[in-house]
Chain A
Amino acid sequence: DAKTTQPNSMESNEEEPVHLPCNHSTISGTDYIHWYRQLPSQGPEYVIHGLTSNVNNRMASLAIAEDRKSSTLILHRATLRDAAVYYCILRAYSNSGYALNFGKGTSLLVTP
């Protein structure tokens, strides 16, 4: 799976939008872009995933660059509960095992 690069940390004010970037310049055509987050002392939690088109769900939006070499996770209104480590993960489609390779992620701090 291709490598991803994320900032080590970001800070946001509560109730403001947050844009978490992820670079993946060596992404292949079959790689899906996944985002998971891990709140303190909890297991990772799925946020969103996409392939080529932008995606929205109740938690967040995923904006994927046209060349797919980067993507941005958008939290529309950050809350204190969104403080977590956010992981951008690439994984090619597989029909026999879909293990995720977590990198260092971005630690998001949300201040009131």
Chain B
Amino acid sequence: DTAVSQTPKYLVTQMGNDKSIKCEQNLGHDTMYWYKQDSKKFLKIMFSYNNKELIINETVPNRFSPKSPDKAHLNLHINSLELGDSAVYFCASSLISGGPNEQFFGPGTRLTVL
């Protein structure tokens, strides 16, 4: 059973479109995260939710909107996609919002904006 799953694995779309990436964890964790890994391979935090509540919101364009319908799911919706949004997006989860604690990462969604 996959602990943290993301769909889709690959997403190719045109500039200006709106797209969503879904994430689900079956670990019973309270906290979920979205990270972005750019072409230079740097992984940066975007958002974190604890029990459906936003607790971390880094400097991310407001075209990105996370949504957590329940604590097992954290989706990422992106409006008006731009070329610079091309990256691999990773979802992660952890037992609690504080630390230190282990984060479990999903397999990633490779987004390509043409």
Which A residues are within 8 Å of any B CB, using their own CB?
32, 34, 36, 41-46, 49, 51, 85, 91, 93-104
Contacts and interface: CB of A to CB of B under 8 A. Distances in A.
Contact of B105 (A43, A49, A94, A96): A43
A94 B96 CA distance: 11
Secondary structure type dominating chain B contacts:
strand
Interface stretch (B36-44, B63-71, B78-86): B36-44
Contacts of B58: 99
B61 interface: no
- Chain B's interface size range is 20 to 34
Secondary structure type dominating chain A contacts:
loop
A43 B45 contact: no
Interface string B83-105: 00000001010100111111111
